[in-house]
Amino acid sequence: MVPDGRGPDEAAERIAAFIRSLPGDEVRLCLSGGSTPTGVYRRLSDRSDIDWARLRFFWGDERAVSPASDESNYGLARETLLEPVGAAPERVHRILAEKGAEAAASLYDRTLRAHVGTRSGPLFDLVLLGIGTDGHTASLFPGRESEWDGERLAFATDGGEGRGLRVSLTPAALSDAREVWVLAFGAEKSDIVREALDAGRGRALPTDRIGPRSGGVLWLLDASSASELDRGGSPHDETPA
């Protein structure tokens, strides 16, 4: 847990250190959408201690919009990270959401499978996730568990409540990773963070279904998003950073 306002700096620092710690010439990073990562991506792109030629980029979910749309998770990453660091196009595997959610999900399922088993270790090295105040992560929404069963690595969903069509990786795909980190900063996330980290909680949340090889999900929090934890929330994963 870091002071308010320091979340993106801390996350960028940790991501850079993690990338540097990995052997080999390829680091597979699965990016999150939403607004939280924006500051993280911008800080990452300003760093000089990352060999970006090693990186291969994937996404945990995408809205069924054009990459030019303000809603596009790829578009956000392109502006704040991929273009600034000169990411090689052949190493950027975006979800082709403009083809429609079902078609894009099928194509991405094939893209992911093409990378499974092509090296030792899991599909991803690091998966970055956010969490909505309703408990969704990627485009896995509470109560929609039936969408996530089966063998698929990516699926189409309407997200419910008029959110529009999306493509999401399944919990199984998101778990095929050395590490999974959830970035949650600010007071608006304090309740859902407490609920998500409360082992005695009633309802199921998507993050319950995500278990990386490292054993637990790491929560990168700031003082405000962690502020409810001292009210008895008992982290059932790794201690929030």
Q: Would you tell me which residues interact with ligand 6PG (CB under 6 A)?
A: 32-36, 61, 73, 130-132, 136-138
Integer Cα distance of 28 and 127 in angstroms = 9
Q: How far is the CB of 212 from ligand 6PG (least distance, A)?
A: 17
Q: Which of 61, 19, 92 is nearest to 169 (CA)?
A: 61
Query: How long, in residues, is the chain?
Result: 241
User: In DSSP terms, which residues pair with 183 in a beta bridge?
Assistant: 220
Cβ atoms of residues 204 and 145 within 8 Å:
yes
Nearer Cβ to ligand 6PG (33/75)? 33
Q: Which of 196, 144, 146, 153 is nearest to 172 (CA)?
A: 153
Nearer Cβ to ligand 6PG (137/224)? 137
First to last CA, the chain: 4
Q: How far is the CB of 20 from ligand 6PG (least distance, A)?
A: 25
Nearer Cβ to ligand 6PG (32/175)? 32
Q: How far is the CB of 198 from ligand 6PG (least distance, A)?
A: 19
Integer Cα distance of 99 and 53 in angstroms = 28
Nearer Cβ to ligand 6PG (38/214)? 38
Query: What is the DSSP track for 62-110?
Result: EESS-TTSTT-HHHHHIIIIIHHHT--GGGB----GGG-HHHHHHHHHH
Q: How far is the CB of 236 from ligand 6PG (least distance, A)?
A: 20
Q: How far is the CB of 99 from ligand 6PG (least distance, A)?
A: 17
Nearer Cβ to ligand 6PG (61/109)? 61
Residue with tokens 């949650």: 184
Closest residue to ligand 6PG using C-beta atoms: 130
Nearer Cβ to ligand 6PG (8/233)? 8
Nearer Cβ to ligand 6PG (128/229)? 128
Q: Which of 68, 79, 4 is nearest to 41 (CA)?
A: 79
Three-state secondary structure call for residue 224: coil
